[in-house]
Amino acid sequence: MATPVKVYGPPLSTAVSRVLVCLLEKDVPFQLVPVSMAKMEHKKPDYIKMQPFGQVPAFQDDDITLFESRAICRYIAEKYPNKGTMSLFGTNPLVKASMDQWLEAESQSFIPPSSVLAFQIVFAPRMKLKQDEALIKQNEAKLVKVLDVYENRLGSSQYLAGDEFTLADLSHLPNTQFLVEKTNRAELFTSRKNVSRWWSEISTRPAWKKVVEMQNA
């Protein structure tokens, strides 16, 4: 039996949880190796050898060391096509292209404003930093535009890339979880009929519920 794959980083991190939910969707056993950001372990030489940008996560299996969560997810989904959720990587080249398109849209258009909002509203107060109201307002406006596009898309498609759950949907789980569950901005998602339906479906998947448990532990 192959050694469990290793994922380095705290489960609360957006990028780490993205990889964890992918591994759980694919039924791939893993070992989560803690990395204390507070103690700057992610900037120490041993960690930098795996991840030269000093960020989480890093990933290792018998064949490769990788970083960048979406690259890791792609690798896992392609390496185990017949395990767990088989639709994750797209069932044919056109669906896969659509998955890539919405995964890029997530990383280029959804992540910047949602990350700023998550940091400003959830994490800044915890770190005793002053919230930047102008920045919050600016990024809420950007996120609204993105969610309007999603609302339209999800009116004619069950999931972002098509009729099945793929990495494109999965990639949205961490930041949406923060905004819906840990801020008073949930209505950005819940007031949009199709986005709300989509969020309800993807967030109640057993794999994501397990990651949320890990985050709350």
Binding range to another protein, per CB under 8 A, among 25-33, 60-68, 128-136, 195-203: 60-68
CB of residue 163 to another protein, shortest distance in Å: 17
d(CA 179, CA 121): 9
d(CA 176, CA 80): 26
Give, in degrees to the nearest 5, the angle at Cα 93 between 87 and 97.
Answer: 85
Q: Can residue 153 be called a binding residue for another protein (CB under 8 A)?
A: yes
- Which amino acid does the sequence have at 63? D
Sign of CA dihedral 196, 83, 210, 46: negative
Buried b (16+ CB within 10 A) or exposed e, 124-161: eeeeeeeeeeeebeebbebbeebbeebbebbeeeebbb
**Looking at the chain, how many residues does it have?**
217
Binding range to another protein, per CB under 8 A, among 61-69, 128-136, 192-200, 203-211: 61-69
42 or 205: CB nearest another protein: 42
Site residues for another protein, window 89-108 (CB under 8 A)? 93-94, 96-98, 100-101, 103-105, 107-108
Using CB under 8 A as the binding criterion, the count of chain residues that bind another protein stands at: 31
Binding residue for another protein (CB under 8 A) from 64, 129, 141, 144? 64
Q: Which residues bind another protein (CB under 8 A)?
A: 52-53, 63-64, 66-68, 70-72, 74-75, 78-79, 93-94, 96-98, 100-101, 103-105, 107-109, 146, 149, 152-153
